Chains A and B, each alone.
Chain A
């Protein structure tokens, strides 16, 4: 009888690479990636430790569910167990239901636990469990639209938002009086506050429309990312899970490749070897098919560059590298860990977020492209 023996290094590689894999499950790849990113953010930011101890529940039945401590630790255990199963791609739809359900139960069982950012995570995970492979993730797309619609409507109907009073008080008196005083020494306070309130309302309304029209998806993703990154920069806060959950829900609008993307590279270019090996190492999920260029097919226009072929379209240079990073799950996981685990004494998350936004901003692409070419040419020289 033949024995299927797996060596220890292979087993280790499998254990490490399986959580990074998002293909071949019952969920669309981008939806599974979104669910994994939200779950990872919930864990790395320590949100899972805050799951409810049932206290003043919205539904009285939770008061009859035993001791608050037992209730809390049950939720934590179930959450962590479902997280492990989700990362190892075991019954991913059920896992999404369970994870979303745990957060929802936590919300319903405690008024003190109620926060919109946690509610959003619960809704996304539950709706992820209702998505089907091979179909568009419309429930998540509509969830995004609904959040921006609700937020814009509530602001629009409040006099303090229309007049700017909210911002002048919230930012100017509570959160950052020093900065506000400096800025309003040059610009009149109330017109500025009113402008910022209206900018927020209009941005949210534009996002409602943008996420309803497929050809505007990519610009809406950029606008939404810029909006939430600006809030993070200004307030030095991710608003709980909001920054992570909002940005990862945009993955539902990404036209994720169904077949491996072809990455072509020049084996003879020494300067590329390390970088290519590094990028290849990140691709443990097999999203890309790495193939060296044959001697007779090296195109002049992108000599020495990586070339990514995505559904018949070729990308090279800086754009190709961005594409490799965008379709690599480990990029998202690393970013979440980088932001979620920042030390208290060295808070870099807003600068990291601003840097990443700049890197993926379309109109800054020529600038980064020029920098990339300069580095590439100097290394080659």
Chain B
């Protein structure tokens, strides 16, 4: 690669990141936009498959999520995205009922349900 090409590639790569940083402020998501550990969410997941309730550990393992005793330091929308994508793809045949309850930075709890929301 010529020096000009490497400079152009580096400038484009950095410009893309800058666009993502600004764009993220207009959305509830914080992917690839340098917002590290800026949120403190505590949450619980209730998952029912064919009417049978999974344990807390099974529910977390289903979506490869972290232990809920520690705080989740991305926005809760990331958990919602994860659950929604899983239930639409790998788990569509399970017809799962999911209830996510979370509290952001100690505020009053909020709830999100799948299917539905």
Contacts and interface: CB of A to CB of B under 8 A. Distances in A.
Contacts of A149: 21, 34
Interface in B1-32: 3, 6-7, 9-11, 13-14, 17-18, 21, 24-25, 30-32
Contacts of B10: 127, 130-131, 138-139
B106 interface: yes
Given A116-B35, A153-B21, A166-B40, A111 B89 contact: no
Interface in A104-149: 110-112, 114, 116-117, 119, 123, 126-127, 130-132, 135, 138-139, 142-143, 146-147, 149
A116 B14 contact: no
Contacts of A132: 3, 6
Contact of A111 (B7, B13, B82): B82
Given A146-B17, A149-B21, A166-B40, A112 B35 contact: no
Interface in B90-107: 90, 104-107
A169 B105 contact: yes
A56 B10 CA distance: 29
Contacts of B35: 116, 150-151, 154
A256 interface: no
B106 A242 contact: no
B105 A111 contact: no
A310 interface: no
B3 A111 contact: no
What DSSP secondary structure best describes chain A's contact surface? helix
Nearest to A150: B34
Residue of B13, B24, B78, B107 with most chain A CB atoms under a 10 A cut-off: B13
Nearest to B18: A146
B31 to A, nearest CB: 7
Contacts of B59: none
A316 interface: no
A151 B78 contact: no
A98 to B, nearest CB: 15
A158 interface: yes
Contacts of B6: 130-132
A241 to B, nearest CB: 11
Contact of B14 (A112, A146, A166): A146
Given A112-B82, A114-B31, A126-B13, A55 B38 contact: no
Nearest to B25: A157
A284 to B, nearest CB: 30
A167 to B, nearest CB: 9
Contacts of B32: 119
Nearest to B103: A169
B85 interface: yes
A323 interface: no
Contacts of B39: 166
A142 B40 contact: no
B50 interface: no
Nearest to A142: B14
Contact of B36 (A123, A139, A142, A151): A151
A135 B7 CA distance: 11
Contacts of B21: 146, 149-150, 153
A289 interface: no
Contacts of A111: 78, 81-82, 85
B107 to A, nearest CB: 8
Interface of B: 3, 6-7, 9-11, 13-14, 17-18, 21, 24-25, 30-40, 42, 63-65, 70-71, 78, 81-82, 85-86, 89-90, 104-107
Given A111-B78, A139-B10, 15 more contacts: A56-B63, A56-B85, A112-B64, A116-B34, A130-B10, A139-B13, A139-B14, A150-B34, A151-B36, A154-B33, A166-B105, A169-B106, A174-B71, A239-B36, A242-B36
25 contacts: A63-B89, A110-B64, A112-B65, A112-B82, A116-B37, A119-B32, A130-B10, A131-B10, A139-B10, A139-B11, A139-B13, A146-B21, A147-B34, A149-B21, A150-B21, A151-B34, A151-B38, A154-B24, A154-B38, A157-B25, A165-B105, A166-B38, A173-B106, A174-B40, A175-B71
